[in-house]
Amino acid sequence: MALASRLLSRSTRQLCAGQVVLRPEHAVPVRSFAKEAAAPTALKGDQVLKEIFYEVKNKLETAIGVLRKEKITIDPEDPAAVSEYAKVMKSVRQKANLLSESQIIKFNIEVETHEIPDARTYLLKLKEMRVKRGLVDAQGIEDMQIAALDKVEKEIKKPLMRNDKKGIALLTAEFDKINQKLGIRKEDLPKYEEQLELKIAKAQLEELKKDALEAMETQKKREEFKDEEMPSVKSLDIRNFI
């Protein structure tokens, strides 16, 4: 059961529970304790929480339903296994109506930056978010963007504000030059998203492998299993633990 719990935690529970609360329609209103507040108004928050609970429950059941049918090979070093795992997780997201990783990133950016007035603070916030998520800026794009911002601000002789349409147009043109230099095209965005999903899939498989090995080591310490040989992690079938 320990292994089953860990595998489910990695493959479904975090996937589902972490996303429903992102949806703006589930913002729970603060209760009013004023004497004039009517009882139905005071209970509205409870109703919203109940709806969130049932939505998470339904999404979790849908995700588990997919995982009961799909074979997952816990082998992060095998590109085919990583690709297949990514496909399974994509199927889970589609059927359970969950956000993809890139969609979550986009949502978080919108939430955490919507009140930032200037372009420089905005770019620094994006860098902070990237670092927190463990994403690597291997091409040094952020430094190039800051250099582009420096150029634009020198030209307009003031800090660039996000509501400055003319200034933002100048910065966007500089960013387009950076993308062109790096060979990044808007039409290739689906390909970049797929590459991101594969990186995430590999990282998740590595976590699954780590948890499975830890669970088996714990099991092996028990008296009744000490003489048994532990199976290879990649031979495990998660469907047997659900």
Please report the pLDDT score of residue 160 as a whole number: 97
Please report the pLDDT score of residue 21 as a whole number: 42
Please report the pLDDT score of residue 200 as a whole number: 86
Most confidently modeled of 52-61, 71-80, 155-164? 155-164
Q: How far apart are CA 1 and CA 241, in angstroms?
A: 8
Please report the pLDDT score of residue 79 as a whole number: 94
Residue 95's alpha-carbon distances to 67, 91, 167, 198, in angstroms, are 11, 6, 43, 19
Residues 189, 159 contacting (CB under 8 angstroms):
no
Instruction: Kindly report the average pLDDT of the chain as a whole number.
Output: 80
Please report the pLDDT score of residue 12 as a whole number: 52
Q: How far apart are CA 197 and CA 211, in angstroms?
A: 21
- Using pLDDT thresholds of 50, 70 and 90, give the confidence band for residue 43: low
Q: How far apart are CA 108 and CA 102, in angstroms?
A: 10
Task: Decide if pLDDT at 102 tops 90.
Answer: no
- Using pLDDT thresholds of 50, 70 and 90, give the confidence band for residue 64: confident
3-state secondary structure of 118: strand
Residue 68's alpha-carbon distances to 93, 144, 184, 224, 242, in angstroms, are 15, 46, 39, 29, 7
Please report the pLDDT score of residue 41 as a whole number: 54
- Using pLDDT thresholds of 50, 70 and 90, give the confidence band for residue 40: low
- Which of 6-10, 18-22, 74-78 has the lowest average pLDDT? 18-22
Task: Decide if pLDDT at 158 tops 90.
Answer: yes
